[in-house]
Amino acid sequence: MAPRTLRPRTALLMSLVLALLLGALAILVMFPAAQHLRSFQDGERVSATLHRDGSCMAGNCQVKFEVDGQPVVADLPVGSGGGKSSVGDRMIVRYQADDLQSAAREDDVEGGGAAVLALMSSGAAVFFLVLSVVGVVYGSRQRHQGP
């Protein structure tokens, strides 16, 4: 029994869907997350401890720091690094004085992992788009040459 292979149209459709999904991930999620991290560049700088660890890239981490003697627990935004840190680890964060609910690790204010993931998913989207175009051109030439 011969192994099953994808039909050319199915492979083309899958490549186009992957290009669309990866492009949407980059444009709708990762680029805005990187911009949000960059918005902390001019924020107040303070020493903090990791209060809740988890998947920091998905925005599930919190840090604890003090502002004017008052303890503050703030979320690290989507795209943050620090996933290998443990609860209680010290780090430098930046926060906006008018919004104490969110802070960014100082290492991430250039865009962090979100910027890297945005570039990688954009590149992969372009790759699958080019792969689709090459498949269409190749299939078209095969049909025109005949058997």
pLDDT in tens, 97-121: 898 898 999 988 988 788 888 999 9
| Residue 8 forms part of a structural domain | no
Q: What is the pLDDT of residue 147?
A: 58
Q: What is the pLDDT of residue 145?
A: 72
| Residue 67 forms part of a structural domain | yes
| pLDDT tier, 7 (very low <50, low <70, confident <90, very high otherwise) | confident
| Residue 1 forms part of a structural domain | no
| pLDDT tier, 78 (very low <50, low <70, confident <90, very high otherwise) | confident
- The closest alpha carbon to 36, from 88, 101, 125, belongs to 101
| Residue 13 forms part of a structural domain | no
Bridge partners (DSSP) listed for residue 103: 95
What is the number of structural domains in the chain?
Answer: 1
Q: For residue 30, what are the domain limits?
A: 19-145
Q: What is the pLDDT of residue 38?
A: 92
E strand or H helix that includes residue 67:
strand 62-67
Contact status, residue 61 vs residue 50, Cβ threshold 8 Å: yes
| Residue 10 forms part of a structural domain | no
| Residue 82 forms part of a structural domain | yes
| Residue 85 forms part of a structural domain | yes
| Residue 9 forms part of a structural domain | no
